[in-house]
Amino acid sequence: MKGGKKPAPRVDAYLFAKTWKMFEMDKQLSAHELVEILEVSKRTAWLWLRTLHEMRCIHIVGWYKDTIGRDQTPIYANGDGFDKPKSKRTPQDRKRKYYEKKARLAREKANERPNYGA
């Protein structure tokens, strides 16, 4: 430090500290929410959350589902707790969903038949 000046704070360190403060206030956050709140890139948000998770400062409390219904995005909370595992579909569930979808599409197709006699 030349001249006794205090070094300028780095923006990423400041935002990382702000992230930690949010977890200390018992907020539950995903990387997407962190991107919106702090206006950082997704890559940065994932890096911070992954680092905090590896250091066992935060844990996974839930999952956001994607459009197909799979657990996709983890939701993190403060503390060293047990991670909530992703839900897994059994082969019977997959088979049941397949036949339900097949039956629904057949019903829709039957309802869309053109009426040539009218």
What CA–CA distance (Å, rounded) separates 111 from 59?
49
From residue 75, alpha-carbon distances to 22, 28, 72, 92 in Å are: 13, 6, 10, 28
SS3 content of the chain, % helix, strand, coil (to 5): 50, 15, 35
Per-residue pLDDT tens digits of the chain, which is 118 residues long: 555 676 655 667 788 888 888 888 888 999 999 999 888 889 988 988 998 899 999 999 999 988 877 888 999 999 888 999 988 878 888 898 889 999 999 988 888 766 665 5
Q: Which domain holds residue 76?
A: 8-86
Residue 2 domain flag: no
Residue 112 domain flag: no
What CA–CA distance (Å, rounded) separates 65 from 89?
13
Residue 69 domain flag: yes
Give the total number of structural domains in the chain: 1
Residue 105 domain flag: no
CATH number, domain with residue 23: 1.10.10.10
Q: Global pTM?
A: 0.67
Q: Which amino acid is at 96?
A: R
